[in-house]
């Protein structure tokens, strides 16, 4: 089980990855 800090870090990383993938998808389709 993750600690609060690990969960927070993972959440931040997940958001960054999702945002980056969304940006790449938008750029690729443009």
Domains of the chain by residue range: 1-29
Q: Which residues of 13-26 are buried (b: 16+ CB within 10 A; e: fewer)?
A: eeeeeeeeeeeeee
What integer pLDDT is reported at residue 14 of this predicted model? Answer: 80
4 compared with 27, residue with greater pLDDT:
4
Q: Is the pTM of this model over 0.85?
A: no
Measured in residues, the chain has a length of 30
Asked whether the CA dihedral 24, 25, 28, 30 is positive or negative, the reply is: negative
20-25: average pLDDT: 81
1-11: average pLDDT: 82
What integer pLDDT is reported at residue 30 of this predicted model? Answer: 59
């Amino acid at each position: 089980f993750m600690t609060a800090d690990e969960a927070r870090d993972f959440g931040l990383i997940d958001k960054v990855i999702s945002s980056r993938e969304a940006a790449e998808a938008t750029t690729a389709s443009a």
